[in-house]
């Protein structure tokens, strides 16, 4: 009898504990990004491919211009959404479609574009074959999703809304979604540096240091960040500068807006690293940051082989 009573008490306590203690929360999904007219980069391409999947006749050119805005408004109106032309949470929710191996569509191109933002290197051909299936399962495993190869709302939201974090003390000079990873390993035209296609978007300090304004004919408007130890990071062709001369900046702090000033053939960010006055190739440094890894020391970067 005593054992029976103890068993009932134990069971009752277990039930009460389950009622009182909250269940362990599920991992929070990242927020859907808000993509609007004037933005440029792979997130725009993803939205354009999805709009094309739903019958909008636009070019997936990574440029959110008037044609993409018109297509977004048409899609929104047809789906009972506020036709503001902005690709936000409600519009993403209607744009995405469930995909799996064997799918072949413009939506698969959107998926492949997203997977390539995470370094999967897929051909964007719209064919959900073995390579895309493997990339999806790898992504799902990495992000604690069910690795079933099916791309539903949870996978879409995680793909579009998240990205690997930055190592402590560092930040890419542009938003990760602004341009594709492949742009960060392009050669420069005449000396160790890089030109990143960027149309009037924020530029950020890659490290902490002392920032100095630039205003001269070749660089146009720009900023130098002296990080100590003879290391200097140079940004050129800004449309506007956001810091005071001699200001201390921190990684990720906005220092300007990219543009087309100085000796420039179009809107872009010229980015360079110098060590004790000598130019170093920044490509490996930037790719590491894009992938969320600690970059190599500037002094270890090559001083040739990154120009054409």
229-255 per-position pLDDT tens digit: 999 999 999 999 999 999 999 999 999
Answer whether 130's CB lies under 8 Å from 158's CB: no
pLDDT at 20: 44
Q: Is the pLDDT of residue 10 over 80?
A: no
Q: In the CATH scheme, what is the code of domain 42-161? A: 1.10.101.10
Q: Is the pLDDT of residue 271 over 90?
A: yes
Question: Average pLDDT for residues 177-191, to the nearest whole number?
Answer: 88
Q: In the CATH scheme, what is the code of domain 181-300? A: 2.70.70.10
pLDDT at 1: 46
Q: Is the pLDDT of residue 217 over 50?
A: yes
Which residues, in sequence order, are CB contacts of 33 under 8 Å at separation 6+?
A: 43, 87, 160, 161, 177
Question: Average pLDDT for residues 192-211, to the nearest whole number?
Answer: 96
Q: At 18, is the pLDDT very low, low, confident or very high (cuts 50, 70, 90)?
A: very low
Lowest-confidence range among 7-16, 35-44, 77-86, 233-242?
7-16
Q: What is the DSSP string of 227-294?
A: EETTEEEEEEEEEEE-S-TTEEE-TT-EEEEEB--SS-SSSEEEEEEEETTEEE--HHHHHHHHTT-P
Work out the mean pLDDT of the chain and round it to a whole number: 90
Sequence spans of domains, the chain: 42-161, 181-300
pLDDT digits (tens, 9 = 90+) for 114-138: 998 787 889 999 999 999 999 999 9
State the Cα–Cα distance between residues 52 and 46, nearest whole angstrom.
Answer: 10
Two structure tokens written together for 305: 């082989």
Q: At 19, is the pLDDT very low, low, confident or very high (cuts 50, 70, 90)?
A: very low
Q: Which of 51-65, 172-186, 205-219 has the highest mean pLDDT?
A: 205-219
pLDDT at 201: 92
Higher pLDDT, 91 or 293: 91
Distance of CA 170 to the CA centre of its chain: 15
The secondary structure of residue 99, as a DSSP letter, is B
State the Cα–Cα distance between residues 42 and 93, nearest whole angstrom.
Answer: 18
State the Cα–Cα distance between residues 243 and 221, nearest whole angstrom.
Answer: 12
Q: Phi and psi at residue 259, in whole multiples of 5°?
A: -165, -140
Which residues, in sequence order, are CB contacts of 83 under 8 Å at separation 6+?
A: 73, 74, 76, 77
pLDDT at 195: 98
Higher pLDDT, 32 or 18: 32
Answer whether 222's CB lies under 8 Å from 234's CB: yes
Q: Is the pLDDT of residue 109 over 80?
A: yes
Distance of CA 79 to the CA centre of its chain: 28
The CB density around residue 24, as the number of other CB atoms within 10 Å, is 6
Q: Is the pLDDT of residue 275 over 70?
A: yes
The SS3 call for residue 18 is: helix
Half-sphere exposure of 77 (CA within 13 A, CB side): 10
Q: Is the pLDDT of residue 215 over 50?
A: yes
Question: Average pLDDT for residues 98-109, to the nearest whole number?
Answer: 98
Question: Average pLDDT for residues 67-76, to the nearest whole number?
Answer: 98
State the Cα–Cα distance between residues 255 and 248, nearest whole angstrom.
Answer: 11
Answer whether 178's CB lies under 8 Å from 117's CB: no
Q: Is the pLDDT of residue 177 over 80?
A: no
Answer whether 141's CB lies under 8 Å from 125's CB: no
Nearest to 173 by CA among 238, 118, 231: 238
Q: At 179, is the pLDDT very low, low, confident or very high (cuts 50, 70, 90)?
A: confident
Nearest to 210 by CA among 249, 255, 242, 172: 249
- As a whole number of Å, the end-to-end CA separation of the chain is 89
Q: Is the pLDDT of residue 2 over 90?
A: no
Q: Is the pLDDT of residue 157 over 90?
A: yes
């006055």: which residue's tokens?
277
State the Cα–Cα distance between residues 54 and 225, nearest whole angstrom.
Answer: 46
pLDDT at 8: 52
Q: At 3, is the pLDDT very low, low, confident or very high (cuts 50, 70, 90)?
A: low
pLDDT at 40: 66
pLDDT digits (tens, 9 = 90+) for 21-35: 443 344 578 889 888
Question: Average pLDDT for residues 108-115, to the nearest whole number?
Answer: 95
């Amino acid at each position: 009898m005593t054992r029976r009573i103890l068993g009932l008490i134990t069971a009752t306590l277990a039930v009460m504990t389950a009622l009182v203690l909250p269940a362990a929360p599920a991992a929070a999904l990242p927020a859907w990004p808000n993509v609007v007219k004037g933005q440029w980069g792979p997130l725009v391409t993803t939205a354009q491919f999805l709009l094309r999947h739903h019958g909008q006749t636009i070019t997936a050119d990574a440029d959110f211009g008037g044609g993409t805005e018109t297509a977004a408004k048409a899609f929104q109106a047809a789906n009972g959404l506020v036709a503001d032309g902005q690709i936000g949470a409600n519009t993403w929710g209607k744009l995405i479609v469930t995909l799996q191996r064997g799918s072949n569509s413009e939506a698969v191109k959107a998926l492949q574009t997203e997977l390539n933002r995470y370094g999967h290197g897929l051909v964007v051909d719209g064919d959900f074959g073995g390579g895309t299936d493997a990339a999806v399962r790898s992504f799902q495993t990495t992000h604690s999703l069910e690795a079933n190869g099916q791309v539903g709302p949870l996978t879409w939201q995680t793909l579009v809304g998240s990205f690997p974090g930055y190592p402590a003390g560092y930040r890419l000079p542009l938003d990760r979604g602004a341009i594709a990873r492949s742009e960060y390993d392009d050669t420069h035209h005449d000396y160790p540096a890089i030109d990143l296609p960027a149309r009037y978007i924020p530029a950020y300090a890659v490290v902490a240091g002392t920032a100095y304004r630039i205003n001269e004919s070749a660089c146009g408007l720009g900023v130098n960040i002296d990080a100590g130890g003879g290391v200097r990071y140079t940004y050129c062709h800004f449309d506007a500068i956001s810091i005071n001369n001699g200001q201390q900046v921190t990684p990720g702090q906005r220092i300007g807006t990219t543009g087309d000033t100085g000796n420039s053939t179009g809107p872009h960010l010229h980015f360079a690293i110098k060590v004790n006055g000598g130019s170093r190739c920044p490509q490996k440094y930037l790719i590491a940051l894009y992938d969320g890894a600690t970059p190599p020391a500037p002094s270890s970067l090559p001083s040739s082989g990154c120009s054409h």
